[in-house]
């Protein structure tokens, strides 16, 4: 059965609040946009960012400091080790400043015009190691450009305490040696998580929201209500977009 297309960020925030998460981990925080939204929802936030340029921008952003967001300059991974992180430097449509460049522990597949990198050594950590001392339910927002499977391998020791996960997956190979969406879904199912909705957009790269089966059984009606709200928001947003395009063309 196809997953409903919803406003996945809204759904994730609502689930984190309604299911009692005491901490949200923004894994692949980039410019901190999501982290700040989670904080405004009243959630404590730890933001992981491996790109040294993005991390430096986050560390010098007064709004991040004012929000009380804790920053960690590391890549979430399946081992605690040093890895090479690939910051895209090609002059193409993806290239902006170092802050807005995409990057990954994995190298980009050739042919996308993204083959030029600044390769930097970064610390890699397992989330179940870094967060072992945390108490209470956790929610994970994961956007790591093709390395989601390895992040999931690194949460095995946390799985009983993670109530909800939002993760970006791909159904086509964009990053070398990446595991595709079907593998990520299978890995999460194996850890006791069920996919409940997906984000809008295309079918090659999109977000999927998962809920821990323990919470799914205990809070089924709450979760259904959150999905309905997020579906309504996504539908309304799509209608507004169509109306704006129609008005511009009229």
* pLDDT confidence of residue 247: 84
State residue 115's pLDDT score. 59
Quick one: residue 161, left, alpha or beta (phi over 0 = left, psi -120 to 50 = alpha)?
alpha
| Per-residue pLDDT tens digits for 27-52 | 999 999 999 999 999 999 999 999 99
Residue 204 is predicted with a pLDDT of 95
What residue numbers bound the domain in which 217 lies?
8-249
Bridge partners (DSSP) listed for residue 140: 25, 165
pLDDT digits (tens, 9 = 90+) for 130-153: 999 998 999 999 999 999 999 999
What pLDDT is attached to residue 221? 97
- Residue 145 neighbours by CB under 8 Å, 6+ apart: 28, 102, 103, 104, 106, 168, 174, 175
Report if residue 73 sits inside a domain: yes
Is residue 3, in this structure, part of any structural domain at all? no
> For the chain, how many structural domains are there in total?
1
- pLDDT of 92 reads 47
Decide if 196 is inside a domain.
yes
Q: Say if CB 7 and CB 230 are below 8 A apart.
A: yes
Is 1 domain-assigned? no
CATH of the domain at 42: 3.40.50.150
Which pLDDT value is given to residue 97?
55
Give the per-residue pLDDT at 21.
Answer: 97
- Structure tokens that stand for 20 in this block: 């009692």
Cα–Cα distance, 62 to 65 (Å, whole number)? 5
Cβ atoms of 30 and 241 closer than 8 Å: no
- pLDDT per residue, tens digit, the chain (250 aa), is 699 999 999 999 999 999 999 999 999 999 999 999 999 999 999 999 999 988 999 999 999 999 999 999 999 999 999 999 988 775 544 445 544 567 899 988 877 655 567 889 999 999 999 999 998 999 999 999 999 999 999 999 999 999 999 999 999 999 999 999 999 999 999 999 999 999 998 899 999 999 999 999 999 999 999 999 999 999 998 888 888 888 888 7
Please tell me the number of Cα atoms within 13 Å of 155 on its side-chain side: 29
Calpha distance 222→198 (Å, rounded): 18
Label residue 194 exposed, middle or buried (CB < 10 Å: 0-12, 13-18, 19+): middle
Residue 181 maps to a domain = yes
Kindly state whether residue 130 falls inside one of the protein's structural domains. yes
The verdict on residue 100 lying in a domain is: yes
Residues 6+ apart with CB under 8 A from 172: 180, 204, 205
Q: What is the pLDDT of residue 90?
A: 59
Q: 188: which residues sit within 8 A by CB, 6+ positions away?
A: 152, 165, 167, 195, 210
């Amino acid at each position: 059965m196809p997953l409903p297309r919803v406003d996945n960020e809204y759904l994730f925030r609502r689930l984190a609040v309604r299911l009692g998460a005491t901490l949200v981990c923004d894994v692949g925080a980039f410019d901190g946009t999501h982290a700040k939204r989670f904080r405004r929802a009243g959630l404590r936030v730890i933001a992981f960012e491996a790109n040294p340029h993005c991390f430096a921008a986050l560390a010098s952003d007064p709004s991040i400091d004012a929000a009380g967001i804790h920053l960690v300059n590391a890549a979430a991974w399946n081992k605690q080790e040093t890895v090479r992180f690939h910051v895209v430097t090609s002059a193409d449509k993806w290239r902006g400043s170092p802050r807005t460049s995409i990057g990954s522990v994995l190298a980009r597949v050739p042919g996308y015009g993204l083959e030029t990198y600044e390769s930097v050594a970064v610390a890699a950590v397992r989330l179940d190691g870094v967060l072992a001392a945390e108490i209470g339910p956790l929610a994970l927002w994961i956007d790591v450009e093709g390395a989601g499977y390895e992040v999931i391998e690194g949460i095995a020791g946390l799985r009983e305490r993670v109530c909800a996960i939002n993760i970006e997956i791909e159904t086509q190979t964009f990053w070398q040696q990446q595991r595709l969406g079907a593998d990520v879904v299978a890995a999460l199912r194996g850890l006791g998580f069920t996919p409940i909705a997906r984000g809008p957009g295309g079918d090659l790269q999109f977000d999927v929201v998962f809920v821990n089966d323990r919470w799914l059984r205990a809070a089924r009606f709450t979760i259904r209500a959150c999905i309905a709200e997020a579906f309504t928001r996504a539908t309304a947003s799509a209608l507004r977009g169509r109306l704006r395009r129609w008005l511009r063309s009229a």
